[in-house]
Amino acid sequence: MNYLQLALEESFFAVGISRPNPAVGAVVVKDGLVVGRGRTQSPGNAHAEVMALRDAGELARGAALFVTLEPCCHYGRTPPCTKAIIETGISEVYYAHADPNPQVRGKSRGILEAAGVKVYEGKDACLRAHAESGWSDSCSAEGCMTLAPDESENDGSVVFAEIERFFEAYDYFVCNKRTFVEVKVAVSENGFMGMLDNRGVPAPLRITGQGAACWNHELRAMSDAILVGAGTLLADNPSLDVRYAHGNSPVKVLWAGHRKFTESEISGLKFFSCGNGADKENAASLVFTCVEQPAIKSETILLSGNTFEENWTHMLEELSRRGMHRLMVEPGAHLSEKIYSGSTAQGEKASPLWNRLDLWKSTDPSVERPVAQEGRESLLFPGLPDSAVAKESAMLGPDVLTVYYPG
């Protein structure tokens, strides 16, 4: 067990609630026991540290605080968390990720240490956050989580990498005032992304296995919004939920393009079954469209750009205005090609329309069997963007994940 891993798990439940503030998790530990847990609340309400300290009560005095992000040290909508930490008598603070906000970065540590609080940060904090008390290398009890010293170091390194990944979109948002776009695609061994039925209509085709599905749902849980195109919506009728992961559900976004939806289509699609409520800023679903959609009751935003790039940029500006840090995109072949081939001007430089590409490739030959049946036509992966550079790779069951960033 790693206490910062527990704090990260808390932070997943703050996604979508805390925005535009970062989703942060915290735990208070005393004598090897977790005595307080907390996550960031909606803007103007308590941050994760304060929630965890309140949960711990008097047990916070002399305890250690483990928090995913550097505690704030300035007055905003709420008093600084460093003030609450000092006043409650916390003796040690471990935070995994430095806040990119210049009002905070590097300042909190000095404030806390000046008050006599020991502070550990970054990878060092994650390595030290490993719970050692009560664990024995000789333990044989069922479910015992015994880790050797080298495994303990590995555990902390993995937690640090997971937290860095979690805050990747927040860092980008703070520095660029723009939503981070993460694209997830799945491709068969021979490059199929989907198929058409005998009428030429997109039909469902499951490409990856359960392991990749669980990974995908965890990515959904850490995203503010998840987007699909009209073709994917009609072919797969996805619910876009997080049933294989723990955390808040992202806002569902439809890129309708020039596809006009009928009432009969809408009645059978899971996307439109979620309510929107009265709060437009926290709508459960959004539709971005280039044509009027009189049959759609979800919040609809009409785009009037002359090109796909212009409309995509306008959509991101709207999501950024709503404080969304990460947009997860699950495109079909057509939308993939549009995203990969497009670019937008950022000053004097042309920038791609995406920030991270997660490409899953199946090695299971049976995936393509439905395509071969009855001569169905396949939808091919349009190929990697010209600027894509591979940074990471991993295998989960029969599926290989490669992560790309713009070069």
Report the alpha-carbon distance of residue 247 to residue 163 in Å, rounded.
15
CA distances from 163 to 7, 96, 125, 167 (A): 10, 7, 12, 6
Q: According to DSSP H, which parts of 246-323 are helical?
A: 263-267, 308-321
**Residue of 49, 168, 182, 368 marked catalytic:** 49
What phi and psi, each to the nearest 5 degrees, are found at residue 234?
-75, -35
347: tokens are 């000053």
61: Cβ–Cβ under 8 A, 6 or more apart, which residues? Answer: 88, 89, 90
Q: How far is CA 325 from CA 72, 179, 214, in A?
A: 19, 5, 22
- For 272-324, strand residue ranges (E) read 285-289, 299-302
Phi/psi for 302 (5° steps) reads: -85, 125
49 has catalytic annotation: yes
State how far the Cα of 119 lies from the Cα of 170, in Å rounded to an integer: 23
Distance CA 167, CA 183 (A): 17
Tell me how far apart the terminal alpha carbons of the chain are, to the nearest angstrom.
37
Q: In whole angstroms, how large is the CA radius of gyration of the chain?
A: 23
Starting at the edge strand found earlier in the chain, the sheet holding 180-187 runs 299-302, 285-289, 251-257, 225-229, 326-329, 180-187, 356-362, 399-406, 388-396
Q: 109 near 121, Cβ under 8 Å?
A: yes
> Mapping DSSP to helix (H, G, I), strand (E, B) and coil, where does residue 257 land?
strand
Question: CB burial class (10 A; 0-12, 13-18, 19+) of residue 28?
Answer: buried
E strands present in 148-222: 180-187, 192-196, 202-203
Report which DSSP code applies to 289.
Answer: E
Active site residues: 49
